Amino acid sequence: MRFALIGLEGVAGNMVRRLRKQDVEVVGCDENGERSKQLADETGLIATSSVVAALRKLPGDSPKIVWLMLPDNAAVDKEIKNLVNRLAFGDIVVDGSHSNYRDSQRRGALLSQSGIGFVDAGIMDGGNGLEKGFCITLGGERDQVEIVVPLMQVLAADGGSGWSRVGVVGAGHFARMVHSGIEWSVRQAFSEGFELMKGKTGFSFDLEQVAQTWSKGAMLDGAVLSDEVAILRAESSGGAQLPSFDELRWSAIEAIDQNIPAPAISAALQCVAGSRGN
């Protein structure tokens, strides 16, 4: 199987590595040409200098699959508009970027006018997607999702079963958004707990040490706690880089739109935004 992957940074790079281990042919391009070259040298990725060049290397006798892993909303919109004029009836665009589900619905509607399928993929890597696989929620028409199943079987965690079609276009990114809202609520609980420990000056807690201990079998063990250990370590060296909280914000807005109480998510948003001066 051969498909195009547009954007190779971060999670996308590990997707390439995982796919190439199973001999899936990946035609890739990235604005950073050096990144493409490095992945080509490392994995056998078919590196191209442009999306047009990537499309030319896809087979013409079956639906083309173009998977987007782009850094922001503007980049996804730009690429979607380009692809409308370059893909044919029956081809498929998969968006695995961190997109708002409403944007996914809009993009799916635009592509459908030209008979091009659209699948939105909410990708969660649990901190070790390369080795264990990814958790992926897909939104799209059943027949279009069926076309990308061979990729899911390689990329997904739990022996290829860690994915599902969760609904129509937009549902995949919606599910990821809600997961992110829950995840941030858990992060906020950790943050509050660490503040309690920091405030108990008589014990002189080493927070990184405590978090590392918890990560080795306590009920709170998991990817979020492992992330917190890494953040605490980075903070102690002055190099902490916190993840984006766009999806937390979107989750809180969705709760307001649906008039559904979501106090944990809303409180997490207030605290995170306040701590970053937003």
pLDDT attached to residue 239: 59
Q: 129: closest CA among 19, 6, 231?
A: 19
Domains of the chain, first to last? 2-168 (3.40.50.720), 177-275 (1.10.1040.10)
DSSP letters spanning 178-213 = HHHHHHHHHHHHHHHHHHHHHH-GGG---HHHHHHH
Instruction: Give CA–CA dist 152/147, Å, rounded.
Output: 10
Q: Strand 117-124 to strand 135-139: parallel, antiparallel, or no bridges (unpaired)?
A: antiparallel
pLDDT attached to residue 241: 62
- Mean confidence (pLDDT) of the chain: 92
pLDDT over threshold 60, residue 4: yes
pLDDT over threshold 90, residue 62: no
Which tens digit of pLDDT belongs to each residue from 204-219? 999 999 998 998 888 7
Q: How many CB atoms lie within 10 A of CB 152?
A: 20
Q: How many CB atoms lie within 10 A of CB 221?
A: 12
pLDDT over threshold 90, residue 187: no
Cα radius of gyration rounded to whole Å, the chain: 20
CB hemisphere CA count around 178 (13 angstroms): 10
Q: How many CB atoms lie within 10 A of CB 220?
A: 15
Query: Of 13-22, 47-56, 121-130, which gets the smallest average pLDDT?
Result: 121-130
Place of tokens 């006018």: 113
- Label residue 140 by pLDDT band (50, 70, 90): very high
Chain-centroid distance of CA 248 in Å reads 14
pLDDT over threshold 60, residue 240: no
